[in-house]
Amino acid sequence: MPKVSIIALIYNLEAYTPLCINSVLEQTFEDFELILVNDGSTDNSGRICEEYAKKDERIVVIHKNNAGIAAARNTGIAHASGKYITFIDCDDYFHEQMVEILYKQIVTNKADIAMCDFLPTKEGIEDQRKDRLEDYTVSTYTNRQVLYGLYEEGHTYVVPWNKLYRKELFKNVKYPDGYLYDDEFTAHRLLYEAKKTVYVHVPLYFYVIRNGSTTHSPMTEKKFDKVLALHDRAEFFRLKNLPELEEKALDNFTVYFFWYYLNSQIELPKADDRRTEIKKIYNQLFFRIIKSRQTNKREKVVYSVFRFSPYIHKHLFTDLGRKT
């Protein structure tokens, strides 16, 4: 049984997939299985996976009908036999010491999650993945402490692929199907379940900035899922009786609610149903937002006018200050 299961999400990026797989196979830590979840690719990605599997017995290939990122992640988790799990997207790549360093820290510190920095990089640049790393700092957090990171260096704490997880964390946590931002729905749950998290302050994951990726694509109605996820996080903290984190979550929800609501009126004029959906959630949270210590006097006025009439709000306020 391997110590680590590495789950690679493969979908229609045949030009990037070889580097992704090679960066895993060339890890200095060798006791792993690589689970390639081919989520219904229509290009040569599936064939590339099979060719690699013939060359390395640590590779397992799973072909499935396209069902999205969350379903692919859950499929990989279900097939994982390692005590620890990590993820990689098929257009990204690992530093060759990533698994070695994270595994050492998670075991040495008896932690449930080991996370690292990631480095946004341009397409076709990979020299840095072989630079020898020896000096780096490590921070240790309880589950409550690490949750504040969602509002300090948010993206680092949210994304699933810069972390090594104890597999047991996924017994009660699954990535939700049908949502664009499945990691936003899941990050706070995993961090809460982890009694101890270690943060290795060095970039070990290379995130390729690619035209056409979800992050760098135009606004669509599916991107409203971000607002739903942030509402879910606020409710999670309320149910766990974590009032300070709940207030931060409400503030974060409000930022994105206004951004998506107001900008979509210009970019997606026909998305009235989605705007109505998130406006309904805003109305439900309104009194909690107003009472929050994160909300200043001016914002209380702005938010109250908007709740009463988005039309009047639009004509009275041309700037929402820090909230937009």
Average pLDDT, integer, range 270-294: 96
pLDDT tens, 89-107? 999 999 999 999 999 999 9
- Domain containing residue 180: 4-209
What's the chain's average pLDDT? Answer: 93
Alpha-carbon gap, residue 265 to 257, rounded angstroms: 12
CATH code at 65?
3.90.550.10
pLDDT at 322 over 70: no
Q: Give per-residue pLDDT as tens, 162-197.
A: 999 999 999 999 999 999 999 999 999 999 999 999
**216 assigned to some structural domain:** no
Last residue of some domain: 170, 189, 209? 209
pLDDT value at residue 154: 74
Distance, CA of 130 to CA of 119 (rounded, Å) = 14
Q: Are residues 260 and 173 in the same domain?
A: no
Task: List pLDDT tens digits, range 53-82.
Answer: 999 999 999 999 999 999 999 999 999 999
Give Cβ neighbours of residue 4 (< 8 Å, ≥ 6 apart): 29, 31, 32, 33, 82, 83, 84, 85, 86, 99, 103, 164
Tell me, yes or no, whether 126 and 235 share the same domain: no
User: How many CA atoms are closer than 13 Å to the CA of 56, on its beta-carbon side?
Assistant: 19
Task: Please tell me the distance from the alpha carbon of residue 172 to that of residue 185, in angstroms, as a whole number.
Answer: 13
Asked if 122 and 265 sit in the same domain, the reply is no
User: Are 160 and 282 in the same domain?
Assistant: no
pLDDT tens digits for range 45-56: 999 999 999 999
Is residue 314 included in any domain, yes or no?
yes
- State how far the Cα of 317 lies from the Cα of 324, in Å rounded to an integer: 12
Alpha carbon distance 14, 50 (integer Å): 13
Would you say residue 129 lies in a domain? Answer: yes
User: Encoding tokens for residue 271?
Assistant: 């998305």
Question: Does 102 lie in the same domain as 124?
Answer: yes
* pTM confidence score: 0.92
**Is 318 a residue whose pLDDT tops 60?**
no
Residue 52 and residue 171 in one domain = yes
pLDDT of residue 206: 95
* pLDDT confidence of residue 212: 57
SS3 201: strand
Q: Which residue has the tokens 């993820």?
A: 87
The amino acid present at 212, given as its one-letter code, is G
